[in-house]
Structure 1
Amino acid sequence: MTLFSCLPPRHAWRSALLLAFGALLLPCAAQTTHRFEDTMAQRMMACTACHGPQGRAAPDGYYPRLAGKPAGYLYNQLLNFRDGRRVYPLMTQLLTPLSDTYLMEIAQHFAAMEVPYPAPVRVNATPQELQRGEQLALRGDASRQLPACVACHGSALTGVQPGTPGLLGLPRDYLNAQLGAWRAGLRKAHAPDCMADVAQRLGPTDIAAVSAWLATQQAPADAHAAAPSTAPLPQQCGSARPPAGGRP
């Protein structure tokens, strides 16, 4: 059946059209003029369409949480998408016209949001895989020069100010995709690229294990990123702090 087969017969078409047009006019007459509010929240609806309401993360498992992440980290990622270190054409197209100053405003907007973290999810992983994931996250693997996730991402895995993200509340598919992209050289960060170094030492089973364990962890009641630490990182990391300068 086509659209045109649903139209009324020719002798009734004009009457139906007049009735429909009149029905449309009634609500229009009753409407009041609404002024567009030029706020950051209104403008950021282009982001939350994919990243979920208030940047909480989308349910499909591939768009990460933005809310509450350190502003320096979010700023770095916006720069990376805009300048080609991270490859996702839609993000690049959205960000190409924007200045560094405005990208920082976007980052600060989402960093200031305090919304609940999702409950942990069940994953398809064996107890042995989860145990391996816990080891990598909390203790690392010295035999392979793999630092623990907590060494950089904070003891509670909620991130460290100003530029290191939390790892909780992220879908397993997203974690797998990002670690895999670093391992394959498809995702890059400011040099020295510490995550690329770490990911390239991880095997596929390591990535599956650590992403499974992280996805099953409950965020603590206080999920804020930790204060900046004076302790040295296990390796040099160019993205631990936001870069200075850039486009006006």
Structure 2
Amino acid sequence: MKLSIRFACWLAFALLACGALAQPAPTSARSDMERRMAACITCHGREGQATNSGYFPRLAGKPAGYLYEQLRSFRDGRRQQAEMSYLLVNLSDTYLREIAEYFAALDLPYPPPAPSDLSTSELARGKALVFQGDEARGIPACVSCHGQALTGNGPAIPGLLGLPRLYIASQLGAWVTRDRRALPPDCMAEVGRKLETADIRAIAGWLAAQRMPPMNSQTAVAPLARLQRDCSATGAHG
């Protein structure tokens, strides 16, 4: 991400944080919520729709449970990102849930994927890890938790499609370096520590090159399935 883009987002955060995310009265109307989300869309795109390029991930249509837990993680220091922590540090769980539900309710089209510059062999490696994992190294398939269509699983596990490659790679790397954490049992940290740099490049490149299935962002999320491992994100235990 270019420095100028990061600076622009930080400046917008500084200008908007005091008022845009101030906690509303319980009777706040949707139009008021839209105004308060101005700080979010500065980087995540209008209505949190984002694009398939750059760094910032899409918010629109993500599972509310997932968005809520990520907001809490930024606020409480389990995820490291200065701008997000600055915006959320004084917000209550109740308001974070309202933010999550606002973006989760948005049903917007996904852009077509950007062309991949990875080699055929790298893309094949990424696809194999996504659908089959690597049993010898104890790496589960991505689909075992994120759903066979990779569009999410229940209220708290997000889809993996429609995200920029740089964002996917950076988040997988953050699990490896422990810059991103979840409450125990932290299933992604367990998986992330087993990934090599080439694995991350291949997985991120293959996922980012895939088109979203022909269904809207709400119906794409499958009902919560029983997971193969303990994971605090859902409270599901294998």
TM score, norm. by length of structure 1: 0.79
Query: Does the Cα contact within 8 Å between 1:75 and 1:104 map onto a contact in 2?
Result: yes
Structure 1: unaligned runs, 5 residues or longer: 1-36, 243-248
Asked whether 1:221 is paired with 2:217, we answer: no
Residues in 2 aligned to 1:163 and 1:43: alpha-carbon distance in whole angstroms: 24
Instruction: Note if contact 1:162-1:241 (Cα within 8 Å) is conserved in structure 2.
Output: no
1:237 aligns with 2:231: yes
Q: 2:50 aligns with which of 52, 57, 67?
A: 57
Q: Are residue 135 (structure 1) and residue 128 (structure 2) matched?
A: yes
- Whether the 8 Å contact between 2:53 and 2:165 is mirrored in structure 1 is no
1:73 matched residue in structure 2:
66
1:206-228 superposed Cα distances (whole Å, 9 cap, x missing partner): 00000000001010112421112
- Is 2:208 the partner of 1:199? no
Larger radius of gyration: 1
Q: State the Cα distance separating 1:190 from its structure 2 match.
A: 1.4
Check 1:187–1:54 CA distance in 2 against 1; reply closer, same or farther (3 A cut). Answer: same
**How many percent of aligned residue pairs carry the same amino acid?**
51
Q: What TM-score, normalized by structure 2, do the two folds share?
A: 0.82
**Structure 1, residues 136-158: CA drift from partner, whole Å, max 9, x if none?**
11111111111100100011101
* Range that drifts further, 118-127 or 77-86: 118-127
| 1:147 match | 140
Query: Which whole-Å CA distance do the structure 2 matches of 1:78 and 1:84 have between them?
Result: 10
Runs of 4+ in 1 over 2 A off after TM superposition: none
Unpaired runs of at least 5, structure 2: 1-29
* Correspondence 1:1-248 to 2 at 5 A: 39-57=32-50, 61-222=54-215, 223=217, 224-229=220-225, 231=226, 233-241=227-235
2:176 counterpart letter in structure 1 = R
What amino acid sits opposite 1:128 in the alignment?
A: S
Change (3 A) 1:135 1:211: same
Give 3-state SS (helix, strand or coil) of 1:196's partner: helix
Q: Distance in 2 between matches of 1:68 and 1:59?
A: 15
Cα RMSD after superposing both structures: 1.7
The 2-side partners of 1:38 and 1:215 are apart by 33
SS in 2 for 1:81: helix
Partner letter of residue 81 of structure 2?
A: Y
Counterpart of 1:234, as a letter, is: Q
Deviation at 1:80, TM superposition (A): 0.2
Contact 1:120 1:215 in 2 (8 A): yes
Instruction: Give the Cα–Cα distance (whole angstroms) in 1 for the partners of residues 235 and 222 of structure 2.
Output: 14
Q: Is the 8 A contact 1:136 1:210 kept in 2?
A: yes
Deviations 1:76-100 (A, max 9, x none): 0000000000011111111111100
CA-CA distance at 1:240 after TM superposition:
2.3
Aligned-partner Cα distance in 2 for 1:130–1:155 = 18
Q: Secondary structure at the match of 2:108?
A: coil
Letter paired with 2:78: R
Which of 149-158 and 38-47 deviates more? 38-47
What is the CA distance between 1:133 and its match in structure 2? 0.3
Name the SS for the 2:193 alignment partner.
helix
Q: Classify the secondary structure of the residue corresponding to 1:201.
A: coil
